[in-house]
Amino acid sequence: MNFKTIPLILVLSCLLAVPTSSQDNHLRQIKDKPNLIYIMVDDLGYGDLSCFGQKSFETPKIDQLAAEGMKLTDYYSGNTVCRPSRLYLWTGLDARHSPIIGNTPYALKNSDVTVAELLKEVGYTTGGVGKWALFNGEDGHPNDHGFDFWMGFLDQGRAHNFYPHYLWRNREHVPLAGNLLGPGHEPYRGRVANGRQTYSHDVMTKEALGFIRRNADNPFLLHVHWTIPHANNEGGRVWKDGMEVPSYGEFENKDWPNPEKGFAAMVTHMDRDVGKIMALLKELNIDDNTLLIFTSDNGPHHEGNHHHTFFDSNGPLKGFKRDLYEGGIRVPTIARWPGKIKAGSSSAFPAANWDWLPTACELAGSKTPKDLDGMSLIPALMGKTEKRTSPLFWIYEERRGKKTAIRLGKWKAIKNSEIGDWELYDLFQDIGEENDLAEKNPEFLEGMVRLLENG
Chain segment 70-99, per-residue pLDDT in tens: 999 999 999 999 999 999 999 999 999 999
Residue 340: is its pLDDT beyond 80?
A: yes
Nearest to 15 by CA among 386, 429, 332: 386
In a domain, 399, yes or no: no
In a domain, 395, yes or no: no
**Over the range 221-243, which residues count as b (16 or more CB within 10 Å of their CB) and which as e?**
bbbbbbbbbbbbbbbbebbebbb
The residue segments making up the domain with residue 108 are 33-390
Least confident of 9-18, 143-152, 295-304, 320-329: 9-18
What span, in angstroms and rounded, lies between the C-alpha atoms of 139 and 318?
38
User: Backbone phi, then psi, for 253, in 5-degree steps?
Assistant: -100, 10
425 and 344 within one domain: no
Predicted confidence band of residue 26 (pLDDT cuts 50, 70, 90)? very low
In a domain, 375, yes or no: yes
Angle between helix 258-283 and helix 60-67 axes, rounded to 10 deg:
50
What span, in angstroms and rounded, lies between the C-alpha atoms of 159 and 154?
8
Mean per-residue pLDDT over the chain, rounded? 92
Least confident of 84-98, 99-113, 372-386: 372-386
Average pLDDT over residues 101-120: 97
CA distances from 137 to 134, 170, 198, 290, 301 (A): 10, 13, 24, 34, 27
308 and 184 within one domain: yes
Nearest to 74 by CA among 7, 157, 18, 13: 18
Strand partners, 294: 39, 334
Count of C-beta atoms within a 10 Å radius of residue 290 = 24
User: Backbone phi, then psi, for 261, in 5-degree steps?
Assistant: -60, -45
Residue 3: is its pLDDT beyond 90?
A: no
CA distances from 424 to 395, 413, 431, 442 (A): 16, 4, 12, 9
383 and 254 within one domain: yes
427 and 343 within one domain: no
What span, in angstroms and rounded, lies between the C-alpha atoms of 230 and 160?
7
Predicted confidence band of residue 2 (pLDDT cuts 50, 70, 90)? very low
In a domain, 65, yes or no: yes
Predicted confidence band of residue 385 (pLDDT cuts 50, 70, 90)? low
Q: Rg (Cα) of the chain, in Å, rounded?
A: 21
166 and 68 within one domain: yes
Average pLDDT over residues 308-316: 98
380: helix, strand or coil: helix
335 and 423 within one domain: no
DSSP 371: S
Q: Are 266 and 245 in contact (CB under 8 A)?
A: yes
- Peptide bond before 164: cis, by omega within 30 degrees of 0? no
Average pLDDT over residues 311-321: 97
156 and 83 within one domain: yes
450 and 313 within one domain: no
In a domain, 149, yes or no: yes
In a domain, 163, yes or no: yes
Q: Are 354 and 93 in contact (CB under 8 A)?
A: yes
CATH number of the domain where residue 226 is located: 3.40.720.10
What span, in angstroms and rounded, lies between the C-alpha atoms of 338 and 287?
7
217 and 183 within one domain: yes
398: helix, strand or coil: strand
237 and 145 within one domain: yes
134 and 69 within one domain: yes
Burial of 317 (0-12, 13-18, 19+ CB in 10 A): buried
346: left (phi over 0), alpha (psi -120 to 50) or beta: beta
In a domain, 4, yes or no: no
322 and 187 within one domain: yes
Q: In total, how many domains does the chain have?
A: 2
76: helix, strand or coil: strand
Average pLDDT over residues 112-116: 98
pLDDT tens, residue by residue, 188-242: 777 899 889 999 999 999 999 999 999 999 999 999 999 999 999 998 888 889 9
Give the helix ranges, DSSP H, for 199-250: 200-214, 233-239
Q: Are 222 and 125 in contact (CB under 8 A)?
A: no
DSSP 391: -
In a domain, 396, yes or no: no
